[in-house]
Structure 1
Amino acid sequence: MPGRTPVSSNPTTSAPRVVVFGLGGTIAMTSSTGDAVSPTLSAQQLVDAVPGLAATGIDIEVVEFRRCPGASLTFADITELAAAAADALAGGATGVVVTQGTDTIEETAYLLDLLHHRPEPLVVTGAMRNPTLASADGPANILAAIHTATSPHARGQGCLVVLADEIHAARWVTKTHSTSAATFRSPDTGPLGYVLEDAVRMLNRVPHRLPVPVPNPARQTTVGLHTITFDDDPALLAAVGTRVDGLVVAGFGVGHVPESLVDTLTTLAERIPVVLASRTPAGPTLTHTYGFPGSEQDLIARGLIPAGWLHPYKARILLRALLHAEAKPQEIATAVAAAGGLADFTVWPWPAALDSNGHSERSTTNA
């Protein structure tokens, strides 16, 4: 069981309280031999190494949740983490911070966003430069994330990703460079805000929250992602399709595939949900601009579900979360349309999350 270690605890104070969950990753990696690094630092050691944190007056509680590379985290890990974060917030925490490897942040953060039903901030951060290197970015990222987790301006925004003093929405952020400290970007929207002089400055807002039902832990599903490539082989797509419960296809441009794949995709869409996304870094799939065999209009008519603005990685996380929640086929199609911006969020099949005041977004909007 993960253990909790309070940095400071005073039940009589009204100071904000943040629970930091450590999952490992580059931010926690060192080497005792001077060779390649691996995750060895505890979450407590990470927090203790943050300059200026004690001066903020924020109560910090540390949970050693996992200690592994970001690449080795699982759907089950993040589902369990979402439940633990909800418990911490229900227990009075002002916000939650998660430290983990950056390899999978754009996916784990989006899954947390889907599973986070409360208004308090849930913030994910990490580091691109491990603690053995000059100018390691971990301490600054942790401090910025903690400031974000205590800010009233971050309430009602779901899961946020904070690195390099930028605040991004989990649903839009992506890792754009393999080594740069400024790797995290939101190509379609830009950041929501910044942490400047220890203060959170929000310039944009997430327009609505789209939480999914709690996954059924007994449900085991496999969702594949097939990226369409030049002169793609239908046999590869067919082989993947026979082994999955759902599939995301990352097509060319606005959602196109070679004509040679059309029959295979038609057959797959009759058996499993197949989501059509774009492999390009930014921009949406379209729905009715092109009409040739293998175009977005043709594929949608054959049963594929357009992803809209959802990146393929996000679409895969959403589809798997929906299958784990035992969503029906029509609910899946409706949810993907809403999450991808192709339908109004009010069609979302499940109750809306709470806004920053603890009210239902849907009831507030429709009032």
Structure 2
Amino acid sequence: MKKILLISTGGTIAMAKDDNGLAQPTLDAQNLLRAVPEIKSVADVTAEQWLNVPSPFLQFSDLVELGRKINEAETAGYDGVVITQGTDTLEESAYFLDLILEISIPVVLTAAQRNPSLPSSDGPMNLLDAITVAADDQAKNYGVLVVANSEVHGAREVVKTHTSRIDTFRSPEFGPLGAISNGRVVWLRNQLWHEVFPIKQLVDKVEAVYLGLGSEGSVIEFLVDAGIKGIVIQALGGGHVPPKTLPAITKAVNKGIPVVITSRCHAGRLFTGTYGFQGAEKHLWELGTIFGDGLATSKARVKLVVLLSAGLSLDEIRYHFEKHFYA
């Protein structure tokens, strides 16, 4: 039987209602494990309580430490690691770990949309499924995984799509990597790719800026003046920005700040030479911005943090964002 380490960090899956009927993080890893006795027939699980916080409380520095704990688990002989946390930032946690971990055991994140106080809580089944995946021999070939609603998603692609539904986690363009059916993992496709960048010194002063109809460049300008280390701009369509943002974008690029462009669309990659108007993708390319590798804005921000923390130069950062689609 496989040895799995369960690391609990909090989130809805570990919450219970307080005297005011509001969910608060109160349950520990042992509580989670005891709530699902079926786990005993799947794997030999050791439960460890690490944090007990809502996921918006998590910092990149916490994830660096979590990465160390996962490496220690592999060294200690565990066959896989399952991490429970809140859904709000799970897609970012998963991708950060996917980018920094170079290990040969499965790492699976799971969570819940409905707390254990509710009769329809999704936490127990998600936990059982996550441990089932972590104990699967093929799971180690897919990088860090997210398991929820009996689906297996890759860390690079998965996003939270709904505030409350239990099928919130989806991979919009390509769909899940696999599914859990009758207690077994069914793999549906291969992972696109997996890349690892060891952290040298954490650089997490990176922010994302949303652009829309009539946006100006004041937020970008503020970030540049505040000493930001990297900016991700969520542009329109295939990579277009309102003209009034261009002076601020140009200022950031001229200061040597990596400026990564993503799209607010849920799927697809940026264009490179379809449109020629001011603020279109060709103009942004010529300005020296970096095109975001088909990543969601949240994922592009995580990748930029990792690349900066790995000590890469601006040209190296550009290469690792653009090599798959724009080289």
Q: TM-score, normalised by structure 2?
A: 0.96
CA-CA distance at 1:235 after TM superposition: 2.0
Count how many residue pairs are aligned between Structure 1 and Structure 2: 325
Once the two structures are superposed, residues 95-127 of structure 1 have per-residue CA deviations (whole angstroms, 9 ceiling, x without a partner) of 110000000011111001001111311000000
Match in the other structure for 2:35: 49
Match in the other structure for 1:239: 222
Match in the other structure for 1:156: 141
Amino acid of the structure 1 residue aligned with 2:13: I
Contact 1:222/1:245, CA 8 A, preserved across alignment: yes
Paired residue secondary structure (2:261): strand
TM-align CA RMSD: 1.3
Paired residue secondary structure (2:127): helix
CA-CA distance at 1:215 after TM superposition: 3.5
Contact 1:119/1:157, CA 8 A, preserved across alignment: no
What does 1:317-332 align with in structure 2 at a 5 Å threshold? 317-332=302-317
Q: CA–CA distance in 1 between the matches of 2:120 and 2:144? A: 27
Contact 1:215/1:321, CA 8 A, preserved across alignment: no
Contact 1:122/1:159, CA 8 A, preserved across alignment: yes
Amino acid of the structure 1 residue aligned with 2:242: P
CA-CA distance at 1:34 after TM superposition: 5.1
Amino acid of the structure 2 residue aligned with 1:256: H
Of 249-258 and 206-215, deviating more is 206-215
Contact 1:116/1:211, CA 8 A, preserved across alignment: yes
Match in the other structure for 2:235: 251
Q: CA–CA distance in 1 between the matches of 2:229 and 2:193? A: 29
Paired residue secondary structure (1:289): coil
Paired residue secondary structure (1:168): strand
Match in the other structure for 1:337: 322
Once the two structures are superposed, residues 243-277 of structure 1 have per-residue CA deviations (whole angstroms, 9 ceiling, x without a partner) of 21100000000110011211221111122000011
Q: Note if 1:115 corresponds to 2:115.
A: no
Q: CA–CA distance in 2 between the matches of 1:306 and 1:55? A: 47
Q: CA–CA distance in 1 between the matches of 2:125 and 2:6? A: 15
Paired residue secondary structure (1:80): helix
Q: CA–CA distance in 1 between the matches of 2:219 and 2:140? A: 45
CA-CA distance at 1:53 after TM superposition: 1.2
Match in the other structure for 1:18: 4
Long gaps (5+) in structure 2? none
Contact 2:216/2:242, CA 8 A, preserved across alignment: no
Q: CA–CA distance in 2 between the matches of 1:147 and 1:82? A: 21
Match in the other structure for 1:359: none
CA-CA distance at 1:240 after TM superposition: 2.3
Match in the other structure for 1:264: 248
Paired residue secondary structure (1:53): helix
Once the two structures are superposed, residues 7-47 of structure 1 have per-residue CA deviations (whole angstroms, 9 ceiling, x without a partner) of xxxxxxxx210001100000000024251011000011101
Match in the other structure for 1:363: none
